Chains A and B, each alone.
Chain A
Amino acid sequence: MMSQFLQVLLSGLATGSIYALVAIGFALVWQAAQTINFAQGEFVMLPAFLVLVGLNYFDLPLWGALLFGLAMSILILGAAFKKLVVEPILPHGGITLVIATIALGILIRESVKEFYSAEGQPFPSVLPSDPINIFGAVVSLQDILNLVLSLGIVVLLTLFLNRTRTGRCMQATAQNPAVAEILGVDVKRMVLYTFLINAALAALASFLITPVYLAKFSNGETLGLIAFIAAIVGGFNQIRGALVGGLLIGVLDNLVATYVTAEYRAALPLILLILIILVRPQGILGTPEGRAV
């Protein structure tokens, strides 16, 4: 029984770390544009298909296709998203942009379905999937990498934002764009950086999860929703909050499915969301007036 507990705990952490990577994107976009990107799930789905295009249509080797996928993601989901969607729509208000991101999500989803396939596609694993036995529980190198990477990204991103000049300029932009501009911060550039980082993170999450989730046009729907809830649960204005929220949902989902009921596991994130909103609306690590990026 101990090995079963360890198994579901480790698997939950591995899955939760993926939710965390996606949830960080929600927090970043919120800070940069004061909006919620409801296409975030599709931002994670698309890079995997860009890699498949690199592999199957341009005959690139895996590493080349991954680089192609990363570059295209930064270009499309970072620069183009900011230039073509956020910049023209943001002056019309946050809610308009929220609706625009919902539309964008549908556009990306249906385009992938139309131009690639409605069926799930296999996706090559970056790492060998050989099982590693830890006290009777079995995990893969991929699981461990997911966890290490999401922890590492939270640490690096926090250091970047707090310890570098560019990071502090980004924080200033997030807290008050008008004052930041008066103080000489290139606000537009800082916002662009945020979107580029978000796109790169989405691509990374995509490369890590797709070998297990399989590449499918509809992957973003579930992933986006759970990551959104993870970001709220952890604290929407804290990057480390996204990590905590993601890991919590991943672990609780597995524990509840194993020891309580599997039939209502889909309801768990929603129950958690309601509890957090009632008890601690700012999230576990969030601050009520937080603008920490």
Chain B
Amino acid sequence: MYSKFVLALSTALLTLVGAAQAQEAVEIGVVVELSGAGAPAGTNWRDGIRIAVDEINAEGGILGKPVKVTEYDTQTDPQISRALVQKAIDGRAYAIWGTIYSGSTLVNMLVAQQNGVPQFVGSEAPTIVEKGNPFVFRTSSGAQKGVPALVPYFKDTLKAKKVGVAWVNNEFGRGGRNVFIAEMKKAGIEVVTDVPSEQAQTDYASDVSKLKQSGADAVFVYMNQEESARFLIEAKKQGLSMPLVGEVTLTEAKVIELAGPAAEGAIAHVGITATADQVEGIAAFREKFVKTFKRVPTHDAIKGYIGAWTTKYVTELVGKFDGEAFSEKMHGLCLPATKYPRILLDTCWDNRGEVSRPSFMVQVRNGSPVVIGTVPAN
């Protein structure tokens, strides 16, 4: 009688422990810019993740375990971001989602690498994937992939012989500017003026004036959102007549909202955008985001969303929570949107963590970004 009781009790206990283990949450560290200059990008990234995590948990979590996210605010400070990545890993984070500012990512990704923790970042500076870090993965292509996609537009569509560059003097801007100048050189197009500006700069009179005097046929504009809007406002004021072409941000909905009529006609190559609502997954995400947060998502929100879903898909492909195995699986992996719908577009990662997917050419027309062409994955 006694032995039967002990057996029953042990079985019940084992069942309970098993159930508890199955329900033990997967810790994820969202380390991102929630205050300081990077807050607009960071809050979008976080909100995209919040939507993804709700969906993932509604669909049974990752390998049957619910996802538990802890949010850490880097204050847009690289050193703080480094400490927070360490804190997240000390808190048993299985993966890190963030950061967005390249200057921060370059500093904190070493911590994730040393601990063998996969990290999805929103950063686009070329240097991120050139450091040989096997644990860092982009959520949208870096400038060295995005900017070359613009060359045919400058060369064949605009038939530009001389161009100007206006860029924001941070890691992101410098990366894009260097790639652009190298690509123009290869294409035989002369860069006649090179105008750096400061992050959070407000007065663009001098910058626009220099571009106006340069005799350029077109200008490549590579800045963050608010800076892009202020630049466009000043460009309109001074009557800058040449085409203004950017990468990603220049035609973002937020830039159009801020710049108003000054954004009209601006053109950009966009890796991923909520504007591309002809893509079913993007339209559904956009609708859900607008309903939840009462605003249109930026590309950073979509990037955060994709990073979260990729973590689920790839972990389930691996079949266990193992950072090393995850990273190995990611290199050279392609996820087709037909089989993995929340990836939104067919996406591949190379052996450096660089991402490749189809992209779009967008122009602002009548106050709205309009997709004017699709660029195949490179």
A-to-B contact residues, CB < 8 Å: 1, 4, 7-8, 11-12, 15, 110, 113, 117-122, 129, 131, 138-140, 209, 212-214, 216-218, 221-223, 250, 253-255, 257-258, 262-263, 265-266
A192 to chain B, nearest CB (A): 32
Contacts of B210 in A (CB 8 A): 4, 258, 262
Q: Does B105 sit within 8 A of A, measured CB to CB?
A: no
| Contact B226 A12, beta carbon cutoff 8 Å | no
B318 CB → nearest A CB, Å? 35
* Structural contact, A266 and B205, CB atoms closer than 8 A: no
Q: Give chain B nearest CB distance to A220 CB in angstroms.
A: 11
**8 Å CB contacts to A: which residues of B153-208?**
169, 195-198, 200-203, 205-207
- CB-CB under 8 A for A222 and B200, given A4-B213, A7-B205, A7-B209: yes
Asked if A119 contacts B233 (CB within 8 A), the reply is no
Residue of B34, B169, B205, B213 with most chain A CB atoms under a 10 A cut-off: B205
Q: Report A-chain residues with C-beta under 8 Å of the C-beta of B230.
A: 212-214
Contact A213 B197 (CB under 8 A): no
What residues on A are CB-neighbors of B43 within 8 Å? 118-119
| Cβ contact within 8 Å between B209 and A214 | no
Identify the closest chain A residue to B226 (Cβ).
A120
- 7 nearest A-B residue pairs (beta carbon): A11-B205, A118-B39, A257-B206, A119-B40, A120-B226, A258-B206, A15-B203
Q: Are A262 and B202 in contact (CB under 8 A)?
A: no
Shortest A272–chain B CB gap in Å is: 16
B206 to A262, Cβ gap below 8 A?
Answer: yes
B258 at the interface (CB under 8 A from A): yes
A253–B204 CA distance with the chains assembled, in angstroms: 11
Which of A110, A138, A255 interacts with B237 by CB under 8 Å?
A: A138
Q: Distance (Å) between the CB of B176 and the closest chain A CB?
A: 16
Interface 0/1 of B27-44, CB less than 8 Å to A: 000000011110110110
Contact A113 B225 (CB under 8 A): no
11 chain-A/chain-B pairs, Cβ below 8 angstroms? A4-B210, A7-B205, A11-B209, A118-B39, A118-B40, A119-B254, A218-B39, A258-B206, A262-B195, A262-B197, A262-B210
On chain B, the residues within 8 Å of A209 by CB distance are: 202
Query: Across the two chains, which residue of chain A brings its CB closest to B76?
Result: A218
- Other A-B pairs beyond A11-B209, A218-B36, 8, CB < 8 Å: A1-B213, A4-B212, A15-B205, A113-B35, A118-B39, A122-B258, A131-B237, A263-B196
Which residues of chain A are within 8 angstroms of B254 by Cβ–Cβ distance? 119-120
Q: What B residues does A12 contact at CB under 8 A?
A: 203, 205
B43-75 near A? 1/0 per residue, CB < 8 Å: 100000000000000000000000000000000
Q: Which residue on chain B has the smallest CB distance to residue A217? A: B39
The A-contacting residues of B in range 7-41, CB under 8 angstroms, are 34-37, 39-40
Closest to A118 in B: B39
Q: Does B257 contact A (CB under 8 A)?
A: yes
Quick check: A218 and B200 within 8 Å, CB to CB? yes
CB-contact partner of A120 in B198, B206, B213, B225, under 8 A = B225
Report how far A110 CA is from B201 CA in the complex, Å: 20
Chain B residues near A (Cβ < 8 Å): 34-37, 39-40, 42-43, 169, 195-198, 200-203, 205-207, 209-210, 212-213, 225-226, 229-230, 233, 237-239, 254, 257-258, 260, 295
Q: With contacts A113-B35, A218-B37, A263-B169 known, is A120 near B203, CB below 8 A?
A: no
| One of A15, A117, A214 near B229 (C-beta < 8 A) | A214
Q: Using CB atoms, name the residue of chain A closest to B39.
A: A118
B258 to chain A: which residues have CB within 8 Å?
120-122, 214
CA distance A120 to B36 in the complex (A): 12
Chain B residues lying within 8 Å of A254, measured Cβ to Cβ, are 203, 205-206
Q: Measured between alpha carbons, how far is A129 from B210 in the docked complex, in Å?
A: 21
Most buried by B among A4, A129, A262, A265: A262
Contact of A15 among B196, B202, B239 (CB under 8 A): B202
Are B233 and A138 in contact, with the CB atoms below 8 A? no
Which A-chain residue is minimally distant from B40 (CB atoms)?
A119
A212, B201: Cα distance in complex, Å:
11
Inter-chain contacts of A131 with B (CB < 8 A): 237-239
Q: A258 near B197 (CB under 8 angstroms)?
A: no
By beta carbon, the residue of chain B nearest A122 is B258
Closest beta carbon of chain A to B173's beta carbon, Å: 11
Q: Contact partner of B203 among A11, A118, A121, A129, CB < 8 A?
A: A11
Whole-angstrom distance between the Cβ of B5 and the nearest chain A Cβ: 57
Smallest CB–CB gap between B264 and chain A, Å? 14
Complex Cα spacing A131 to B236, Å: 9
Q: How far is the CB of A285 from chain B (nearest CB, A)?
A: 24
Report the minimal beta-carbon distance from A4 to chain B, rounded to whole angstroms: 5
Residue of B nearest to A257 (CB): B206
In the complex with contacts A120-B225, A122-B258, A140-B237, A213-B198 CB distance below 8 A: no
* Nearest-neighbor residue (CB-CB) of B204 within chain A: A11
Question: For A222, what are the chain B residues with a Cβ–Cβ distance below 8 Å?
Answer: 200, 202
Chain A, Cβ-Cβ closest to B166: A262
> Could you tell me the distance in whole angstroms from the C-beta of A208 to the nearest C-beta in chain B?
13
Q: Are B203 and A7 in contact (CB under 8 A)?
A: no
Contact B203 A253 (CB under 8 A): yes
Chain B residues, Cβ within 8 Å of A223 = 202
